Every structure is written in structure tokens, then in C-alpha cells.
Amino acid sequence: MKIFIYLIYAITFTYCYYFLNRKLAGKWILMGYPLFFAASIYPIKLIFDAIAHQAGRAVGGEYLKLMLFAVAMLTLFNFAYGIITLMVNAQAGFQQRYNPRAGGHVRWFLNNVSTIKGAYQLFFYSGGIILYGVVVWHAKI
């Protein structure tokens, strides 16, 4: 059951991180995921009540923890995706506008903007996948 829960999270997280975020504008990433988190808390509580009624509060509490962690990590790491994109694009735009004849490190940065964003995004993607794996591994279900 743990593997199934983890695979659902991993597929959803990967879809949101690598496919959905590339289609959304930065402001929708930064506003949409926190709104999704706030809107999903009450439905998760309703699911917890249904599971707790059928299987008991201890098992229901573990599923509640897994669901809340999944939504929180999905929100947090996708929000970080938006912040990374915003910050790197802002820095590159500033350098292109106010320092067009830059050399050295600035020129290297401007030539490798997509690589820099990709490296940071891979770092946060790995963190989101590994951290939820640890949470599922330590769940008592």
C-alpha cells in the first residue's frame, strides 16, 4: 500500500512539476499552488473522517498525515519552482537591460540561464520526491 501511495504522489508531482508548470505563467504558479493547498485541507479532513469511521482513528490519522504531507510538499516544491524561475529571469533581465556589454561571469550567466534554472529545479524536484518517500517509509500503515 505504501508503494501505491508513493507512486500516486510521484506521478502527480512529476506531472505538475515538469508539465503543468511549463504551461503556467509565473504568477499563476505563485498564486495557484497556495490556493490549492488552502482549498484542499477541508476535503482531506472529510476523507480522514470517512477512513477513521471505517478503519479506526489510528489508521485514519496515518492516512491524514500522508495526504497532508503530499499536498504540502506538492505546494511547497512547486512554489519553489515558481520562485526559481522568477528570480533567475529577473536577474537575467536586469543584466540584459542595464549591462548589455558585460563580460566574464555575467556573460556566462546570461548564456546559461536555462541550465541554471534546470539545475535548481532538478534539486528541488529531487527533494520533493525523496522527502515524501521518507514520510511514506516511516508511516505506520
Q: Which residues contact 113 (CB under 8 A, 6 or more apart)?
A: 88, 89, 92
| 43 pLDDT tier (thresholds 50, 70, 90) | very high
Q: Which of 43-47, 55-59, 123-127 is the least confident region? A: 55-59
Whether 55 shows a pLDDT value over 90: the answer reads no
What is the average per-residue pLDDT within 65-90?
94
Closest among 4, 11, 12, 14 to 40, alpha carbons compared:
12
What is the average per-residue pLDDT within 123-128?
95
> Do residues 141 and 4 touch, judged by C-beta distance below 8 A?
no
What integer best gives the mean pLDDT of the chain? 92
Q: How far apart are CA 34 and CA 76, in angstroms?
A: 8
The domains of the chain are located at 2-137
| 7 pLDDT tier (thresholds 50, 70, 90) | very high
Could you tell me the pTM of the whole model? 0.86
